[in-house]
Homo-oligomer: A and B are copies of this chain.
Amino acid sequence: MHRFYIDSSAEGCDEITITGDDVVHITRVLRLGEGDEIIVCDCVGYDCLCKVVRTCKDEVTAKVQSREKNNAEANIDITLYQGVPKGDKLDTVVQKCVELGAVRIVPVAMKRSVAVIKDPAKKAQRLQKIAHEAAKQCGRARVPRVDCVMSFADALSDASGADLRLLPYEAEKMSSIKNVLRQSNDVKNISIFIGPEGGFDPSEVELAKDRGFSVVSMGPRILRTETAPLAAITAVMYELGDW
């Protein structure tokens, strides 16, 4: 069933009003009308099974049939800091990482990032749309946020509040992500840094180490920049999340 997000709580509501881009999507793209069922996910993580009662140009009104907790959000918040890759790889990374359960994705301009994001706001907007669609498709209770591209230094500062900060690095042979995760108790939020195509510059790894990051290996096979975040998020969800 089609899923839509609203910015308010639907607690105690008999009817829900949907406005904005979703109106066109519901009425013109999906051609839904009176009597059709949709799921409206409210801002406090509840899925409302609704029946469309009225549509007009600017809003869709739906009657709430039932309201129940959405359980598709893990008890752990993962923020991915992705080194800007080439081409449309960032699109794929955003889509897949939303499916796998990340709550926030931050593109990071790293030393070896070849691609340059020319219009950061526009790019973030586009990626946010991909995140929105992915969240709908996989049944998330909330839409993960995609930030504008950051510098590596800013990303380090941004991540400083996380309970655990991971940096998977192909040159790391001693410390595995598995050992680090298994030794992590009471972790509520995790930051994961992933290098771009050429990997991290060693100076970036040193800087992150100095700031208390755990530099880890993810097995002996070298993962591509767009594969590594998926593997890292899967590992976290498997060990500490809701798998």
Interface residues of A (CB under 8 A from B): 71-72, 74, 96, 99-101, 137-140, 176-178, 217-224, 227, 230-231, 234-235, 237-239, 241-243
Contacts and interface: CB of A to CB of B under 8 A. Distances in A.
29 contacts: A71-B220, A72-B220, A72-B221, A74-B219, A96-B224, A96-B227, A99-B222, A99-B223, A99-B224, A99-B227, A100-B221, A100-B227, A101-B221, A138-B221, A138-B222, A138-B224, A139-B220, A139-B221, A139-B222, A176-B243, A178-B238, A219-B242, A220-B242, A227-B230, A230-B231, A230-B234, A231-B234, A234-B235, A235-B238
Contacts of A140: 221
A238 B137 CA distance: 27
**What 5 pairs across the A-B complex have the smallest Cβ distances?**
A234-B234, A138-B221, A72-B220, A219-B243, A231-B234
A100 B220 CA distance: 9
A219 B241 contact: yes
Contacts of A74: 219
A242 B96 CA distance: 24
A138 B177 contact: no
Given A99-B222, A100-B223, A101-B221, 20 more contacts: A72-B221, A74-B219, A96-B227, A96-B230, A100-B221, A101-B219, A137-B224, A138-B221, A138-B223, A138-B224, A139-B220, A139-B221, A139-B222, A140-B221, A219-B243, A227-B230, A230-B234, A235-B238, A235-B243, A238-B239
B243 A100 contact: no
A99 to B, nearest CB: 5
Contacts of A242: 219-220
